[in-house]
Amino acid sequence: MQHQSTNTERRPIRRIVIAGGGTAGWMAAAALSKTLGKNLDIKLIESDEIGTVGVGEATIPTLLTFHSLLELNEQEFMAATNATFKLGISFENWRNVNEDYIHSFGMTGTDHWTAGFQHFWHKGRERRLATDYGDYCLELKAAQERRFAHLPNNGLNYAYHLDASRYAQYLRSFSEKFGTQRIEGKIAEVKTDPVSGDIRSLRLESGDEIEGDLFIDCTGFRSLLIGQTLGVEYENWNHWLFNDSAVAVQTASVSDAVPYTRSIARDAGWQWRIGLQNRVGNGHVFSSRYMDDETATRVLMANVEGEALVQPRVIKFTPGQRKQVWKKNCVAIGLSSGFLEPIESTSIHLIQRGIIRLMQMFPTNGIFQSDIDEYNKQANYEIEHIRDFIILHYKVTNRYDTPYWQACKDLDIPESLRHRIELFRETGRVFRIPNELFAENSWVQVMLGQGIMPLQHHQTADLMGDAELAHFLDSIKSHVHKVAMQLPSHQAYVEQYCRAPM
């Protein structure tokens, strides 16, 4: 019996079946067909009747890496998806009501090998030689000025705002060129091997049966393969992340699109506003413990600009992750593997990481448990670091004005996050953990932005006299200001570079 099971596991992997389309399914199809497609038979099953969540409109700079792997033409992709540029996220009312800051991409100032720039800035604040931390970051200054252009040597770090449904359509036509076959239909049954427990085939409502060697679960929150069929449990993180609902609506544009995502804190959650070329994406992420759907919808509709283009719709989710995202011959990518919440635009990034990791560990000659274990370990490690970064936004706040914010402030947080907050508060130090998504500058910007001012700075900063420190800080600030003010307006640049066909 054992011998038979091992043979099944070692079957060469040639037939890939992707269950579900949407952003996750078509990103997986695009990457696999472009890089490994000559050796594989790739089928994607999706139903026109099943809608996708389709509101993941904000991305982070790692998507540029994915696109370079696919060799996509940026102008063509942006025009096809109504995309605009994104330099960061504006957090409004988060530290306190009427207090705002921006978490931008890129670097702030210049680091020394012994200490990050924040130490020199901190010393400058003490001596009244430094202005706002954001004044030393080009991406942040350009965002504030609503300007954008491509600079030589990737001099400006950016991502995109895009129409997620159009992005899936764009990647579909890309994947089909590389041989991915799309099969229209609803999955009626997932058939497993009685001996090994592996998934053998998917039976559609039409009666057709699609067999495969490796199955990728992109069925969204339903998690039809890895959850419902293979029984992998879901680890619920709602004791740390209270938000479990979102209401989303699209509105007509009434002003120029800005090159940053707006995140506006509300009484029991926060609202996003994302400007695309042809419309604005809006949503209200909230906790059902502190607000009902009707009130949340009313709050959103009272705080949008422009006419609603669709009816608002409520999306329910459970923050957390699957305890395994690869089990037997099934890998979960996207919402089927877990979901945190959209605050730092990490959903598409986690899809991308899952796909890249699968390609790095692709089981060409059969599936080995050691690969599965390593994949799951890396996936878990990655999402936990992102989870901690997201919890930070809620825990560190001066807001105490509603029961929701009181509960956030009183939150009992993971030990891993507690250490990072205390380290920064006491010493100003931030150390990046290998392979984690958010670099030191992200942690510094958010911790300062949310109201933590370190008690001290590194002694290296004390080696500079006032004149030297003032010159150091002023030269960075004036360079940032000069470059930012030479950039064209974001709106003008988008219209000239990648205007979408109307």
Q: Which residues are catalytic?
A: 86
Q: How far is CA 35 from CA 154, 169, 179, 359, in A?
A: 25, 19, 11, 9
Terminal CA-CA length for the chain = 62
Calpha distance 244→161 (Å, rounded): 23
What tokens were used for 329?
């011959």
Would you say the C-alpha torsion 464, 470, 475, 480 has a positive or negative sign? positive
Q: How far is CA 169 from CA 141, 163, 400, 498, 501, in A?
A: 34, 10, 44, 18, 15
Place of tokens 């096809």: 80
Calpha distance 262→144 (Å, rounded): 12
Parallel/antiparallel/unpaired status of strands 181-184 and 41-46: parallel
Q: Does residue 300 contact residue 380 with C-beta atoms inside 8 Å?
A: no
Parallel/antiparallel/unpaired status of strands 330-332 and 326-327: antiparallel
Amino acid at 438: F
The strand ranges marked E within 138-180 are 159-161
Cα maximum dimension of the chain: 79
Amino acid at 69: L
Calpha distance 51→63 (Å, rounded): 24
- Element of type H or E holding 492: helix 490-498
Give CA 119 to chain center in angstroms. 29
- Give CB contacts under 8 A, 24+ apart, made by 471-476: 472/110, 472/120, 473/109, 473/120, 473/121, 473/124, 473/129, 473/130, 473/136, 476/109, 476/110, 476/136
Q: Does residue 328 contact residue 6 with C-beta atoms inside 8 Å?
A: no
Which residues have C-beta within 8 Å of that of residue 96, sequence separation ≥ 6?
A: 397, 398, 399, 451
Q: Which candidate, 292, 248, 250, places its Cα nearest to that of 267?
A: 292
Calpha distance 217→236 (Å, rounded): 19
